[in-house]
Structure 1
Amino acid sequence: MKRILVTGAGGAAAANFIDSLRMAEEPFYIVGVDINPYHLACAEVESRYVVPRCTDPAYLSVLCRIIEREQIDLVHPQPDVEVAFLAAHREQIPARIFLPSMSAIRICHDKFWCNQVLAAAGVPVPKSVRITSLAEVSRAFEQIRSHSEGLVWVRAIHGAGSRAALPVRSGRQAEGWIRYWVEMKGLRPEHFMLSEFLPGREFAFQSLWYQGQLVTSMARERLEYLMGHLMPSGQSSSPAVARTVHRADVNEIATQAVKAVDPEPHGVYCVDLKENVAGCPCVTEINPGRFFTTSNFFSAAGCNMPYYYVRLALGESIPEVPPYNPVAEGLYWIRGVDRRPRLFHEVNWQEACVS
């Protein structure tokens, strides 16, 4: 039985990665590690360990001891910080890892740097400006506003889950929002960027690559956000309702984006896109080395990318699968707090809800 270690195992994204492996045709022995003992206690794993943060000097030695004790075959890091850490220390990890290049990870983990690399490669992206001081926020706002019909998107350059993101209508609002994060959360002005507000449909493109070749990919559209009504921005990065889509432009632009940050893509690349006023999907960020939170959506629909990822990482073959659109269009994945997600084929929702 293959033995897999999953970091951040108490989180939702890791739980859904594990759920995908449980859907596979073969059993797995899964070891979970996390910094939070309460969340880790709920992980569906065979063995669990509380570990220090990866910024702690003891983290690497603790992780390696667990890997050796549990005879781990493959380590899968799910949180971004651990993706970067394991990639940087891959030669010291006594198990296989399946991660992109360190250079690609560095680019993608800086959203402004990624935006500039993609723009230089001709990939559609929102117009963006990096902030270096609070004094220049109003000028930067006016520079971006002309591209986005009055609204400007303020966002943190680092982090996940729409961290510190907010649409604003004035330079004063943008400065106030950034000042709050500087004074209350310990960020600095240079941790922020202002971007063109993209008003259209939002897509998420999950892809698996092996030594420069696209193995398979699938796109979904976010229709409703999980707890979006509680977020100041009105949205989060995780969908409550998502639908599979077959969009050639989304597939092409996302593929071009991955190749722009890594000429030899290897591992998992998840690309977020949103339509501009002209309906063109623009890349807002790329998440390398880990899966989207809803990776089990495509697995339940018939394309189990986490399982294929594990087999490829261990040098094994996978079923023949097309590079694009491996599952049907119009499948819905509906999630909520304290309930299991459900997969629906396209239905007339008004009729479905009539008793």
Structure 2
Amino acid sequence: MEKYRILVTGACGVTSRSVVRSLNKSKYFKNKCLFIGTDVCYNEYGIYEGLYDKVYRVPKFSASNYRAIMQQIIDENNIEYAIIIPEPEVLYWSEHPFNVKFLQIPPIFAKSVLSKLNLYKQLEGTGLTPKYQTIDKVTLSDANNVKLSYPLWIRDYSEGTTSGMGSFMPKNYEQLKAWLTINDKIDTFMLSEYLPGRNLACFLLYHEGKLLKYGVAERIEYLMAKVAVSKITGNTSKGKLLNDENVFHVAKQAVEEVINQTGETMNGLIVVDLKEDNYNTPKVTEINIRHVAFTSSFANAGLNFSEYQMLILTGQKQLISNSLTNIFPENNIILRDVDGLPIYQSHYKQLQIGEYI
């Protein structure tokens, strides 16, 4: 039979590969897809891993020849569907779509949440985000200009930043000054209140204004955390799938607050990042307009967001169950390592000394 011809951008990244693995697990799409990847190819491992039928090296979305090259790839490979992963590229496709089927994020919404600063401004006064201030290096040279209490969180807040770029938790002004010296290429920072609780992610899949599926996960530990001063590298080594309706409702409220302001109809898959404060209240820290690497772990547990996405695009939405989410075993665990695929264990028990598996 003719295969579904799917373009996957950012193909060499962890998240895009997670999407492809999820579709390879789907009873509807396994062995029925031809995957064409495009990427700037900083991570060459993804080129040779074997997940894609082809991987094209392309310029950044902002390059003058990007559109012509992408159109040529679409035409040469008769691309029908696309899954867009790098966030600035998602915004580009939302504003300047190609003639293929993809879940188009509303463009004003996408622009409104692409940077933390824009998002926090949109949610000003709702109590959904942590306290924050933006500040430049010159202003930070005076300790009195820091309006938040220590410890606090400092990071780069420019559009599309990932993996905790420029992030650190200074416990006093001297540590903050030292961090500015180290990160001399970042001119402006966001300071925000430190949230000590759980680090959470909530997947939300919309189609034409209707929420179809959601899933909540917790990031517990990070790959190579020892090499990052913040201990956060953006890639989870240990996590868990949660049955937490409160986190879901906070995430959904944040999305609805923004979409109500933009006046658009919500569409597409997004992931809301949250962290709990001292009172275990989830605060929204970020809205990702794309999948994140938890995608394949959800698929391993039977909640396959990539599958649902393609069922929508292929006109088979009726095959998506009416249940908004799955119920996961309380003692499940997600494990990832640098050289291995993610492992999902539905019933996890830590080995004691002398025990074996």
Q: Secondary structure at the match of 2:123?
A: helix
Q: Aligned pair 1:144/2:166, yes or no? A: no
Aligned to 2:40: 35
Q: State which of 104, 119, 122 in structure 1 corresponds to 2:124.
A: 119
Q: 1:252 to 1:343 in 2, by over 3 A?
A: same
Query: Which one-letter code corresponds to 2:52 in the other structure?
Result: V
Q: 2:315 aligns to what SS in structure 1?
A: coil
TM-score by length of 1: 0.91
Q: Cα RMSD over matched residues?
A: 1.9
CA deviation after TM superposition for structure 1 residue 171, in Å: 2.7
1:283–1:154 Cα change, 3 Å: same
Question: In structure 1, what is the equivalent of residue 241 of structure 2?
Answer: 244
Kindly indicate whether the alpha-carbon contact (under 8 Å) linking 2:333 and 2:348 is maintained by their aligned counterparts in 1: no
Q: Specify every segment of 5 or more residues in structure 2 that has no aligned partner in the other structure, as ranges.
A: none
Output the CA distance in 2 between the equivalents of 1:118 and 1:47.
Answer: 41
Give per-residue Cα distances to partners, 1:135-177, cap 9 Å, x unaligned: 2463343x111xxxx2110011120111111100223332432
| Matched-pair identity in % | 25
- Give matches, 1:1-355, under 5 Å: 1-25=3-27, 26=29, 27-36=32-41, 38-39=44-45, 40-90=47-97, 93-120=98-125, 122-136=126-140, 138-141=143-146, 143-145=147-149, 150-158=150-158, 159-181=161-183, 183=184, 185=185, 187-189=186-188, 192-263=189-260, 264-288=265-289, 290-317=290-317, 318-325=319-326, 327-351=328-352, 354-355=355-356
* Higher deviation after alignment, 194-203 or 124-133: 124-133
Q: Unaligned 5+ residue runs, structure 1?
A: none
The number of residues matched between the two structures is 341
Shift of 1:180: 3.3
Higher helix proportion: 1
Give the stretch that moved more between structures: 325-334 or 300-309: 325-334
State the one-letter code of the partner of 1:310. Answer: M
Query: Measured at CA, do residues 201 and 72 of structure 1 come closer, stay the same or move farther in structure 2, by a change above 3 Å?
Result: same
Amino acid at match of 1:131: I
Equivalent residues of 1:216, 1:326 under 8 A apart: no
Question: Residue 43 and residue 231 in structure 1: after superposition, are their counterparts in 2 closer, same or farther (change >3 A)?
Answer: farther
The separation in 1 between residues aligned to 2:55 and 2:274, in whole angstroms, is: 35
**Which structure 1 residue ranges, 4+ long, deviate > 3 Å from structure 2?**
324-330, 350-353
CA distance in 1, matches of 2:96, 2:202: 28
